[in-house]
């Protein structure tokens, strides 16, 4: 079997998806007597109903007309940042990467060892899973989203030592740069990956169980919370819920296709 196909089947099976089918081949010739009627395609399961939780009122007219900063200007302002203690242990600042005009921005926690070495977000094992979550979910639902089309960044731009959980003062120092990035991109949807990103962006201490799989209003965009891919690597049983979240995301982005 094609190794790519094998890998994708493994991913779907981990999500608990087993309804694989092929379209019936066209009848070989009109002379074939009584061809079997085509098997009906099972309808894809409807995505879970999203709950839209209105947040603080945003001034949409202002957002639509206000001049935007560029990501380059924000990166230049960040400079060789020494605003918090994390600068001492980092190799590289991981600003973010992807499409500056993306409809979707994925926000993680902070760079790990691979990201710190390469200067790019989500390039290690968790990043590989994030790529699979985006590309394979889109392929499964037959919509054209690919990782290259989204923007990916983190709450923190520098790696915490030993990948420890970020401290409050580190988040408070770094968050304004993330907010400026989001305002510069103006995505339709922000996906917060895990509790650190969700809590930092929504300014809450709510448990993931109450945040995950729900829509929030955030600075004129919609914000969806899902599990961090590193958590899914530790607890693969949760991939089923992450798949439901991807269906919510893709259902909003591609309402006509789904």
Task: Tell me if 110 contacts ligand URA by CB under 6 A.
Answer: yes
Rounded Cα gap, residues 195 and 228, in angstroms: 8
The pairing of strands 221-226 and 215-218 is: antiparallel
Between the alpha carbon of residue 70 and those of residues 57, 84, 100, 176, 226, the distances in Å are 25, 24, 9, 15, 28
Task: Tell me if 136 contacts ligand URA by CB under 6 A.
Answer: no
CB closer to ligand URA out of 154 and 247: 154
Task: Tell me if 177 contacts ligand URA by CB under 6 A.
Answer: no
Q: Which stretch binds ligand URA (CB under 6 A): 24-32, 124-132, 167-175, 243-251?
A: 124-132
Neighbours of 143 (CB within 10 A): 15
CB closer to ligand URA out of 124 and 213: 124
Task: Tell me if 126 contacts ligand URA by CB under 6 A.
Answer: yes
Q: Which stretch binds ligand URA (CB under 6 A): 19-27, 102-110, 131-139, 212-220?
A: 102-110
Q: Are 156 and 116 in contact (CB under 8 A)?
A: no
Rounded Cα gap, residues 8 and 1, in angstroms: 11
Integer distance in angstroms from the first to the last C-alpha of the chain? 29
Name the minimum Å distance from CB 206 to ligand URA: 19
Task: Tell me if 132 contacts ligand URA by CB under 6 A.
Answer: no
Task: Tell me if 115 contacts ligand URA by CB under 6 A.
Answer: yes
Residues that bind ligand URA (rule: CB under 6 A) add up to a total of: 13
Strand partners for 151: 98, 105
CB closer to ligand URA out of 11 and 227: 227
CB closer to ligand URA out of 105 and 252: 105
Rounded Cα gap, residues 34 and 37, in angstroms: 9
184 exposed, middle or buried (CB, 10 Å; 0-12, 13-18, 19+)? middle
Task: Tell me if 11 contacts ligand URA by CB under 6 A.
Answer: no
Residues near ligand URA, by CB under 6 A = 108-112, 115, 121-122, 124, 126-127, 154, 230
């Amino acid at each position: 079997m094609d190794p790519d196909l094998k890998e994708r089947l493994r991913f779907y099976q981990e999500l608990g998806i087993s309804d694989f089918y092929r379209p019936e081949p066209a009848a070989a010739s009109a002379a074939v007597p009584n061809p079997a009627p085509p098997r009906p395609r099972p309808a894809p399961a409807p995505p879970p109903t999203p709950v839209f939780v209105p947040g603080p009122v945003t001034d949409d007219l202002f957002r639509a007309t206000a001049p935007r900063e560029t990501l380059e200007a924000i990166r230049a302002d960040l400079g060789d940042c020494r605003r918090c203690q994390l600068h001492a242990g980092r190799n590289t600042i991981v600003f973010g990467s992807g499409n500056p005009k993306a409809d979707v921005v994925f926000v993680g926690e902070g760079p790990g060892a691979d990201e710190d070495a390469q200067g790019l977000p989500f390039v290690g094992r968790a990043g590989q899973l994030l790529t699979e979550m985006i590309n394979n979910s889109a392929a499964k639902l037959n919509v054209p989203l690919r990782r290259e089309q989204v923007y990916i960044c983190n709450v923190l731009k520098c790696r915490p030592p030993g990948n420890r959980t970020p401290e409050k003062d580190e988040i408070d120092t770094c968050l304004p740069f993330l907010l400026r990035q989001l305002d510069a991109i103006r995505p339709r949807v922000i996906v917060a990956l895990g509790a650190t990103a969700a809590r930092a962006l929504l300014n809450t201490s709510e448990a993931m169980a109450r945040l995950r799989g729900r829509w929030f209003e955030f600075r004129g965009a919609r914000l969806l919370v899902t599990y961090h891919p590193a958590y899914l690597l530790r607890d693969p049983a949760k991939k089923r819920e992450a798949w439901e979240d991807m269906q919510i995301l893709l259902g909003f982005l591609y309402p006509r296709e789904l």
